[in-house]
A and B are shown apart, each in its own frame.
Chain A
C-alpha cells in the first residue's frame, strides 16, 4: 500500500478520533452554561413577567402551549389554585422531579404568592435548562384580587381599561372556581361581549431549524 494523500488523511482522522476518545468532552459539555450575569440581566431587562389577563386568555382558549407551575406550599395550594396547573412546592424544586412534571417545549408560568419566590424559582429553572419560563406578575394573590373583585374603572377611563374590567369580571367566576349561574339581569349591564383576542405569546421565536 502506497502512502498516498488519501491514506494520510485517514490516518489523521483516526488520530483525531483517538485523541477525542480520551479527552473529557462530556465534562466540558455539562458545565452550567447559563451564567448568573446573563440571568440577572434577563430578569431586569427582558419581559419575564406575564399579566394575569394574558394567562386567563390562555386558560379560556385552551391554549396547548403553556403550563402553570404552582410553587406555593401544599396548604395554600389546597385552599385555592389556578385551574389546570402542576403543583410542586418551592422547597422540592429538583431537576429530576421537574423533568417528569414539565414539558420542556411548553411555556412554563411560575405562580407563587408574590414575585420574589417566583423570581428565585425562575433562576433555578433557567439554570436547569428550561428556556421558556415566565413569572405570573404578582403571583396568586394578585390573581385572586384581579378576578375576585376587579376594580371598576371611572366612567372617563379609556376603552382598553373598560374592556379589561369587563373581561376580568366575566372571567372571574370561572377562574375562582365558582359555579357559574345564569343571571339574566346582570346581562343587561354588560354592554358588548368582549371579543377574545388571541394574544401573541411572548415565546422566543424558535426557528424550524434543521434540514
Chain B
C-alpha cells in the first residue's frame, strides 16, 4: 500500500504540495521545540541542554517503530522506501566537519533556516556562510572527488552488517534510546549552570 507516491496513489504535482505541507509542519515543530535558537542548540556541546539529542532519538525511534509495525501488518513496502547510500569514510569525515560547524555556528543547515524564519540575524549569517562553503566545495570538487565516494557500501541497513533480525535491532535501538534519554538528563543535571534558554 505505502509508500503512496511510489505506488502511484498520487502524481508528481500532488507530491510537491504534500512535501511543502510536511516541510512547513517540520519547520514549525522544530521552531516550537526551540531549535531556532542557536544558544539552546550550542548548549548540547557543553552537556547543559540535551534537547537536541532527545528530539533526534525520539524522531528515530518513532519512525523506526512506525516503519517496523507497518511492515509487520503488510501496509508498507520497506524495499520501496528510499535509503541514503552509505559512504563510510566520506560520511564519517563529513559528520565531523558538520559537528565542528554546528558547535561554532550554533546551527545545523535545517535549524539555520528555522532560525532565519523568525528573523534571527546569526541564522542569516550562518546561511550565508553555508552558501559560501557550498560554492567553495563545488568549485574545488575535483580535488575531493575520490574521497567523496570513499567507503561506498550501497544502500545498507544495520541488519545487513550485523547479522541480526530487523526486530531485534529495533529492540536494541529502543534500549539505546532509553539509555540516551536517561544519560542525557543525568548529564544535564551534572553540567547545567543556568536554566535552558
Q: Which residues of A contact B (CB under 8 A)?
A: 10, 13-14, 16-18, 20-26, 28-29, 31, 33, 129, 205, 209-211
Contact = CB atoms under 8 A, between A and B. Distances in A.
B166 A18 contact: no
A14 B79 CA distance: 26
B180 to A, nearest CB: 11
B188 to A, nearest CB: 14
B79 A33 contact: yes
Nearest to A11: B178
B112 interface: no
A18 B71 contact: no
Contact of B69 (A14, A20, A26, A31): A20
Nearest to B84: A210
Residues of B in contact with A, size category: 20 to 34
Interface in B67-113: 68-69, 71-74, 77-80, 82, 84, 110
25 contacts: A10-B181, A13-B65, A14-B171, A16-B65, A16-B174, A17-B173, A17-B174, A20-B65, A20-B68, A20-B69, A20-B167, A21-B165, A21-B168, A21-B170, A21-B171, A23-B68, A24-B72, A24-B167, A28-B73, A29-B71, A29-B79, A31-B74, A33-B77, A33-B79, A210-B84
A20 B61 contact: no
Nearest to B170: A20
Interface in B40-72: 61, 65, 68-69, 71-72
B130 interface: no
A14 B167 contact: no
Nearest to B16: A207
Contact of B72 (A14, A25, A129): A25
9 closest A-B pairs by beta carbon, nearest first, are: A17-B174, A17-B171, A21-B171, A209-B82, A20-B167, A25-B166, A33-B77, A21-B167, A29-B78
A37 B171 CA distance: 37
B170 A25 contact: yes
A47 to B, nearest CB: 15
Interface string B163-187: 0011110110111011001000000
Given A13-B178, A33-B80, A28 B74 contact: yes
B12 interface: yes
